[in-house]
Structure 1
Amino acid sequence: MIGDLLLAWISEAGNGTIADFRARAAWLARTENLDLHESATGRWLRDASALGHCEVDWKHGKWSVAPPVITRLPLADGLAVLVGARRQRLLRAIDEEGVYAEQARRLGSSRDIPPPCTILMPYERTRDLEEYAAALGAVYSGCAAAAIAALLGTTAPAKPTAPPAYDSPFEHLSSFSPQTWAPTLPSRPNPSEGLHREQVNGRWQHLLRREGGWYATDLSRGVFAELARRGETVIRWRPDGDHRTRTGTVIVDWGASLPPLQARALVLCSGFVPRFGSAAETSLYDNVPREIAARVASSLGQTLQTSS
């Protein structure tokens, strides 16, 4: 499928620009007669990053593929997932070395590029995963989801920046779901507290207004900083079974996209990008232990709510 072809291409290319990736992905989609949403190529890169296949520098317009890694899924009854670069020689090694692996897919919207298939590896002992990694030329990382969650710090913007230019297009975030931006004047005295965006060289840059100062941020971190200021909660955890169950589903309201590391911590609990609840306007992350969900929420200034 096209998602697997794109992962194979970025694996062989190693790195590149986002603009070049968008052009190549759009061309490949046309060869498959896919009617994509205009932001589909960017969403595929975001999902590939959350799955651990690549790193994306949105500010500077660049991406680079990640090395191949085998990581355990938390509390998943002996399942690990292979992430990172997926070169042809690695796929051949899976067959030649007799490594047992299963491919699984989760399809999304017909107007999105499907993510690459997930390669799952059942195991009985940690030693099995270490041997698989050695045979494939990969790295065994333990449980990446738990390790990432343990390292998460606060994402509140703390870098002071210059005020917006008086003659630039300038808007203020007025509501979250859906996200609504209201035009305002950067020259007005005592600008409103909250998240703003300024258009510079045709691109939006985000700024946070706090106690008379301006702070640089990106959209996802800025949104959560503003949610924290308003005391609003958009992250919930629903246990898979009764109250003794340790895993569950993390539910994030639309309009509050997670920063890359927080998204990766949740995605690597299952090896799949989130499902979407269109009726409830939510993103759903599966097989997430409550302690990982709580660390992700805390890093975003959120108080994790438990739903039934």
Structure 2
Amino acid sequence: MIGDLLLTWLSESGSGTIADFRARAAWLARTENLDLPEHSTGRWLRDTASLGHCEIDWKHGRWSVAPPVITRLPFAGGIAVLAGARRPRMIRALDASDIYTVHARRPGSEREIPAPCTIIIPYDRTSDLEESAEAIGATYSGCAAAEIASMLPPTTPTTPTAPPAYDSHFEQLSDCSPQNWRAASPRDPALPDGLYREQINGRWQYILRRGDTWCAADLSTGVFAELARRGDTVIRWQPDSDRHGTTGTFIVDWGAPLPPLHSRALVLCSGFAPRFGNAAETAIYDNVPRDIATRVASSLGQTMQISS
């Protein structure tokens, strides 16, 4: 599968530029006669980062592979997953060991690059995971989802930045879900509070206005800061059943993209990238404990709705 080949290439290369990755992914897709939309490479990188395989620096256009780890899934009945780099020698060591694994895939769109398969490792005791990690040259990381969620800081942008240039292409976010931007004038002295974007060297940069202050932002934190200012909620959590309310489904509207760490905390609850509900235009994360869902929502300035 293309997704697994790309992860192997990332693992062996170690780091590189996003532009180079896009070119290689497009070439590989053509060898399989796949006609992929332009955004598919960026979505694959985002999903792969959420799965804990790599880190992405969108601002500087670079990526780097993450070290291999075995991490427990929360409230999953003795299931862990392998995250991080998948160098061929580690996969050979895994195949040669007596570690029982399951390679699982979630069906996706034919017009998207499939995510790497999820390598599931059932276990009886924590010591089993520690021994498995040592045998293949990985690290046992505990429950990464819970640890990441416990450390999530508030995401409101606070770093002051310069106001927009008078002659720039400049727009204001008018609607969050779905996102809708409208033209604005950087020369207007009475611009209202809100999230704005300015095109610089062909790329959008996001800035938040609060009173007379401008703050630097990225799209995710900027959108959630604006949602908090407006008092809008785009996050819901639905328990798996009336009798089992410990874990459930975390749902967020498409127009509000989650920051990378928040997405990773949710993805590592199941080991799979989010599903997308086309009719409701939502991203759906499975097997998310209520306390993790609450921590993620609180960090984003959201009041999480509980569905029945």
Normalised to the residue count of structure 2, the TM-score between the two structures is 0.99
What SS does the aligned partner of 1:208 have?
strand
Match of 1:159 in 2: 159
Deviation at 1:189, TM superposition (A): 1.1
Q: Distance in 2 between matches of 1:60 and 1:256?
A: 22
Q: Distance in 1 between matches of 2:37 and 2:227?
A: 28
Match of 2:282 in 1: 282
Code of the aligned partner of 2:156: A
What SS does the aligned partner of 2:147 have?
helix
What SS does the aligned partner of 2:8 have?
helix
Q: Which moved more, 1:92-101 or 1:265-274?
A: 92-101
Q: Distance in 2 between matches of 1:96 and 1:19?
A: 36
Contact 1:273 1:285 in 2 (8 A): yes
User: 1:167–1:155: structure 2 CA closer, same or farther, 3 Å change rule?
Assistant: same
The aligned length equals 308
Q: Distance in 1 between matches of 2:107 and 2:160?
A: 41
2:50 corresponds to 1:58: no
Q: Which runs of 5+ in 1 are unaligned?
A: none
Code of the aligned partner of 1:53: H
Deviation at 1:178, TM superposition (A): 2.2
What SS does the aligned partner of 1:80 have?
strand
2:58 corresponds to 1:34: no
Report 1:219-230 matches (<5 A): 219-230=219-230
Match of 1:44 in 2: 44
Deviation at 1:107, TM superposition (A): 2.3
C-alpha distance after superposition, 1:273-295 (max 9, x if no partner): 01111111111100000000000
Code of the aligned partner of 1:19: A
Q: Distance in 2 between matches of 1:95 and 1:266?
A: 28
Code of the aligned partner of 1:39: H
Identity over the aligned pairs, expressed in percent? 70
Report 1:198-277 matches (<5 A): 198-242=198-242, 244-277=244-277
What SS does the aligned partner of 1:127 have?
helix
What SS does the aligned partner of 1:159 have?
coil
Q: Distance in 1 between matches of 2:168 and 2:19?
A: 24
Report 1:70-149 matches (<5 A): 70-149=70-149
Code of the aligned partner of 1:99: I
C-alpha distance after superposition, 1:234-287 (max 9, x if no partner): 011000011552000000011001000000000000000011111111111000
Deviation at 1:97, TM superposition (A): 1.6
C-alpha distance after superposition, 1:86-121 (max 9, x if no partner): 011111111112111100001222211110000000
Q: Distance in 1 between matches of 2:220 and 2:299?
A: 13
Deviation at 1:192, TM superposition (A): 1.8
Contact 1:155 1:300 in 2 (8 A): yes
Q: Which moved more, 1:281-290 or 1:239-248?
A: 239-248
Contact 1:190 1:212 in 2 (8 A): no
Q: Distance in 1 between matches of 2:95 and 2:36?
A: 34
Q: Which runs of 5+ in 2 are unaligned?
A: none
Match of 2:296 in 1: 296
Match of 2:170 in 1: 170
Q: Distance in 2 between matches of 1:9 and 1:192?
A: 47
Code of the aligned partner of 1:97: S
Q: Distance in 1 between matches of 2:39 and 2:294?
A: 30
C-alpha distance after superposition, 1:46-84 (max 9, x if no partner): 001000000000001000000000000000000000000
Q: Distance in 2 between matches of 1:25 and 1:264?
A: 23
Match of 1:186 in 2: 186
Q: CA RMSD in A?
A: 0.7
What SS does the aligned partner of 1:287 have?
strand
Q: Distance in 2 between matches of 1:184 and 1:151?
A: 37
Q: Distance in 1 between matches of 2:211 and 2:40?
A: 37
Q: Distance in 1 between matches of 2:84 and 2:230?
A: 38
Code of the aligned partner of 1:131: E
What SS does the aligned partner of 2:229 have?
helix
Code of the aligned partner of 1:130: E
